[in-house]
A = this chain, B = another copy of it.
Amino acid sequence: MKASDKAYAELRRDIVSWALPPGTVLGEVEQAERLGVSRTPLREALSRLTADGLAVAHRGRGVLVSDVSLDHVDDLFALRRALESEAARGAALAGRPGPFRELAERFDAASEALEPTSDRNDYYQLAGELDQAIDESAANPYLRQALTGLRVHLARLRRLSHDDPQRLRASAREHAQLARAIASGDPGLAAAATVLHLHNSLDHIRSHALPKEATA
Contacts and interface: CB of A to CB of B under 8 A. Distances in A.
A90 to B, nearest CB: 7
A40 interface: yes
Given A43-B44, A44-B44, A142 B79 contact: yes
Interface residues of A, number: 28
Interface stretch (A45-53, A96-104, A126-134, A173-181): A45-53
A82 interface: yes
Nearest to A53: B145
Contacts of A53: 142, 145
A79 B75 contact: no
Interface in A84-142: 85-86, 90, 140-142
A160 interface: no
Interface in A27-59: 40, 43-44, 47-48, 51-53
Contacts of A140: 75, 78-79
Contacts of A145: 53
A154 to B, nearest CB: 11
9 contacts: A43-B44, A51-B51, A75-B141, A79-B146, A81-B86, A82-B86, A82-B143, A142-B150, A146-B146
The 5 closest A-B CB pairs, nearest first, are A82-B86, A51-B51, A75-B140, A82-B82, A79-B142
